[in-house]
Amino acid sequence: MKARVATAWLGGCSGCHMSLLDMDERLLELADQMQLVYSPIMDAKEFPANVDFTLVEGAVVNADNEKTLRQIRERTRILVSLGDCAVTGNVPSMRNLFTKESVLQRGYAENAEVNKGVPKEVPPLLANVRPLHSIVKVDLFVPGCPPSADVIHFTLTELLKGRMPELTSLTRFGK
pLDDT digits (tens, 9 = 90+) for 94-133: 999 999 999 999 999 999 888 899 999 999 999 999 999 9
Q: Is the pLDDT of residue 174 over 70?
A: no
Which pLDDT does position 175 carry in this prediction? 62
CATH number of 3-160: 3.40.50.700
Torsion, CA 72, CA 77, CA 83, CA 85, rounded to 10: 40
For the chain, which residues make up each domain, given as ranges?
Answer: 3-160
Please compute the mean of the pLDDT values over residues 136-162 and round it to a whole number: 97
Report pTM.
0.94
Query: Under DSSP, is residue 30 helix (H, G, I), strand (E, B) or coil?
Result: helix
What is the Cβ-side half-sphere exposure of residue 171, based on CA atoms within 13 angstroms?
25
Q: Is the pLDDT of residue 27 over 90?
A: yes
The answer to whether the beta carbons of residues 15 and 90 sit under 8 Å apart is no
Please compute the mean of the pLDDT values over residues 86-96 and round it to a whole number: 97
Which pLDDT does position 171 carry in this prediction? 79
Please compute the mean of the pLDDT values over residues 130-142 and round it to a whole number: 98
**Whole-number percent of the chain with pLDDT over 70:** 98
Which has the closest alpha carbon to 78: 38, 47, 50?
A: 50
More confident residue, 111 or 53: 53
Residues 6+ apart with CB under 8 A from 80: 53, 54, 55, 56, 138, 139, 140, 141, 142, 155, 159
**Whole-number percent of the chain with pLDDT over 90:** 89
